[in-house]
Amino acid sequence: MRVPTVLFIPLVAIGAAACAGPSAPLQNAPARGASANSQLSLSAAGDFTLSDTDAIVYDRKLAPKGAQASVTTESSGGQTRTSLVVEGFLPSHTYGVHLHAKPCGKKPDDAGSHYQHRQGQIDPVSEVWLGVATDAQGAGRSTARNPWALDPNRLPHSLVIHAKPTVTSGPKAGQAGDRVACLTLR
């Protein structure tokens, strides 16, 4: 079922229980030097197309026609929580998902590198790593909490869905394969 973009955000807000898909584990990063900033919220939602750079698809095999997503990043009290809901993706597939430094663009690399709270630190404490596993209908959700507040002067500008799960250790830590789709955060 295709949900109009105008209705998609309120559906997420009334509860993840209304969405198809298995419950995703809450991914908590251990606290390290958290600081409190004022409350801040970023969000994005949409159907992935080939032309709209606010919700753009780069790989139709991994994000079929009709694929859509909604993301909200809320920062307050020295913590940041990011929640993602996807529908219409490949069934029974795990994607790596990260916040990125630049807005989405026509080319996959336009979104730049991963957003890092601490520049040069590649781990789930400094970056927002959301792994989303879809159910048999291609729906899924994920939430990550980080022990720091967003800096209003240096915000993430997009969420990128990658082809593979995020590598969590070793020299390829943080890598998750090709970029499949991108949402520009507002």
The most confident of 28-37, 49-58, 114-123, by mean pLDDT: 114-123
Tally helices (H) and strands (E) across the chain: 1, 10
Please enumerate in sequence order all residues whose Cβ is within 8 A of that of 17, keeping only pairs 6 or more positions apart, or say none: none
Q: Examine residue 21 and state whether it is found in any structural domain, yes or no.
A: no
What distance separates the 2 farthest-apart alpha carbons in the chain?
44
Q: Is 122 helix (H, G, I), strand (E, B) or coil?
A: coil
The proportion of the chain whose per-residue pLDDT surpasses 90, expressed as a percent, equals: 77
Q: Give dist(CA 54, CA 158) in Å, integer.
A: 9
Q: What is the pLDDT of residues 118-136, one digit of tens each?
A: 999 999 999 999 999 999 9
Q: Which residues pair with 86 in a beta bridge?
A: 69, 140
- Residue 53 banded pLDDT, cuts 50, 70, 90: confident
Whether pLDDT at 5 is above 80: no
**What single letter denotes the amino acid at residue 45?**
A
Q: Examine residue 148 and state whether it is found in any structural domain, yes or no.
A: yes
Q: What is the pLDDT of residues 55-109, one digit of tens each?
A: 999 999 999 999 999 999 999 999 999 999 999 999 999 999 999 999 999 999 9
**Residue for token pair 């993706």:** 89
Whether pLDDT at 27 is above 80: no
Q: What's the domain range around 83?
A: 5-16+32-184
Write out the two tokens for 45. 């939602």
Nearest to 159 by CA among 42, 35, 1, 22: 42
Q: Residue range 160-182: average pLDDT?
A: 97
Could you tell me whether strands 158-162 and 179-184 are parallel, antiparallel, or unpaired per DSSP bridges?
antiparallel
The pLDDT of residue 111: 97
Q: Examine residue 63 and state whether it is found in any structural domain, yes or no.
A: yes
Nearest to 95 by CA among 139, 145, 54: 139
Q: Examine residue 25 and state whether it is found in any structural domain, yes or no.
A: no
| Beta strand segments in the chain, E | 26-28, 40-47, 55-57, 68-76, 79-87, 94-100, 129-133, 140-146, 158-162, 179-184
- Residue 149 banded pLDDT, cuts 50, 70, 90: very high
Q: What is the model's pTM?
A: 0.81
Whether pLDDT at 8 is above 60: no
Q: Examine residue 38 and state whether it is found in any structural domain, yes or no.
A: yes
The structural domain count of the chain equals 1
- Residue 50 banded pLDDT, cuts 50, 70, 90: confident
Q: Examine residue 23 and state whether it is found in any structural domain, yes or no.
A: no
Q: Examine residue 27 and state whether it is found in any structural domain, yes or no.
A: no
Q: Examine residue 24 and state whether it is found in any structural domain, yes or no.
A: no
Here the CATH number for the domain that contains residue 147 is: 2.60.40.200
- Residue 52 banded pLDDT, cuts 50, 70, 90: confident
